[in-house]
Amino acid sequence: MCDRKYAILGTGALGGFYGAKLQKAGLDVHFLLKSDYQHVSQCGLFVQSKDGDFTLHQVNAYHNVEQMPQCDVVIVALKTTQNYLLPKLLPLIVKHSGVVLVLQNGLGIEEDIAQIVSNVHIIGGLCFLCSNKVGPGHIHHLDYGKITLAEYNPEYQPHLITEKMEQIAHDFQTAGIPIELVPDLLLARWQKLVWNIPYNGLSVILNATTEELMANADTRRLIEQLMNEVAAGAKSSGRIIPHSFIETMLNYTVKMKPYRTSMKIDYDQRRPLEIEAIFASPLKKSQTAGVNLPQISCLYHQLQFLDQRNRSAHPTP
């Protein structure tokens, strides 16, 4: 196997799943953990997966970034609400000419990271993954797992497929994770928002699963209207999302297993919601280009209200 060293920042449903798959495939993986540190350093990680369960009895677990080795690829798998930690974390662990791989949803994150670390490659990854963390060091992989990768260029200019992208794709594919390499990160991010904005938003606001939302004619129609607004936002960034893409997303969701979205899980557990990355940032980007997205704005304000009430009623420790 190759000797690329991977760091996982945020060993949850997503980082824990991909990190464990990479280690299982023989890669050298280093996990940063917070609340699960004790458990994982003693007992390892357990992945319960529709592709087959497995346990890693021994993992490189860290509670403190200063003890981690410098890595070739640092996977940012935190919730975006924790991205305020990145200026303290990234400069310590990413190698010169290494890669920061951002496996998060939303817009504008790479721009922020480019301010924090220079002389690195920043690659964005959009994950199509249904996975939950169900206990300490216990990941439940429900379905999917594919990642779409694109390298970040200043101003989100489209980019050729780079060697770094190929290397990462190789490692992930070795681990059994399907990878698609694409030239346009901003387009890929807007495409991902076509799903995230309606389903994450409405699942919280209406306390509903994806299945319930698709079974009702009114929410089905509202979802399509919201997807059209995301396409209008993309267009304001010069990216075209055709209606056939929207239809594919709708059909794909109907066929999905009933799913509690990640934002709904955060809400139910009274964690902060990723409203900034998924809603505020696309709204701001479109607004700057002179385009209003009124229904997305409506969801944004509703979510802000719910998030604030949710956390003020029962403060997180």
Selected binder of a copy of itself within 172, 195, 267, 300 (CB under 8 A):
300
Q: Does 295 sit near a copy of itself (CB under 8 A)?
A: yes
Report yes or no: 224 and 199 within 8 Å, Cβ to Cβ. no
DSSP assignment letter at 26: T
Find the catalytic residue in 192, 235, 257, 264. 192
> Does 212 interact with a copy of itself (rule: CB under 8 A)?
yes
| Tokens linked to 142 | 């429900």
For the chain, how are helix, strand and coil distributed in percent, rounded to 5? 50, 20, 30
* 284 in catalytic set: no
Asked whether position 291 contacts a copy of itself by CB under 8 A, the answer is: no
Spatial separation of the C-alpha atoms in residues 313 and 315, rounded to whole Å? 6
Beta bridge partners of 258: none
Least separation in angstroms between residue 297's CB and a copy of itself is 7
- Please name which of 199, 189, 220 lies closest in space to residue 299, comparing C-alpha atoms: 199
Stretch that binds a copy of itself, among 92-100, 105-113, 164-172, 212-220 (CB under 8 A): 212-220
Smallest gap from Cβ 240 to a copy of itself, in A, equals 21
206-223 burial, b at 16+ Cβ within 10 Å, e below that, comes to: eebbbeebbeeeebeebb
Number of chain positions touching a copy of itself (CB under 8 A): 25
Nearer to a copy of itself, 16 or 233 (CB): 233
Cβ 134 vs Cβ 309: under 8 Å: no
CA-to-CA distance for 44 and 204, rounded, in angstroms?
Answer: 32
Q: How far apart are CA 150 and CA 191, in angstroms?
A: 13
219 binds a copy of itself (CB under 8 A): yes
**Is residue 283 close enough to count as binding a copy of itself by CB under 8 A?**
no
Cβ at position 237, least distance to a copy of itself in Å: 20
Binding span for a copy of itself by CB under 8 A among 24-32, 77-85, 166-174, 200-208:
200-208
Site string for a copy of itself, 232-271 (x = CB under 8 A): ----------------------------------------
CA distance 241 to 101: 24
Out of 42, 97, 225, 248, the only residue in the binding site for a copy of itself (CB under 8 A) is 225
Q: Which of 20, 45, 202, 273 binds a copy of itself (CB under 8 A)?
A: 202
List the beta bridge partners of residue 124. 102, 150
Asked if 309 is part of the footprint of a copy of itself (rule: CB under 8 A), the reply reads yes
Residues near 278 by beta carbon (within 8 Å), at least 6 away in sequence: 80, 105, 106, 193, 196, 197, 200, 263
If the CB atoms of residues 84 and 305 are measured against a copy of itself, the closer one turns out to be 305
In 3D, which of 280, 292, 101 has the Cα closest to residue 197? 280
Closer CB to a copy of itself, 88 or 221, in the complex? 221
Note whether 92 binds a copy of itself by CB under 8 A: no
The residues annotated as belonging to the active site are 192
Contact footprint for a copy of itself (CB under 8 A): 202, 205-206, 208, 212-213, 216, 218-219, 221-222, 225, 294-295, 297-302, 304-306, 308-309
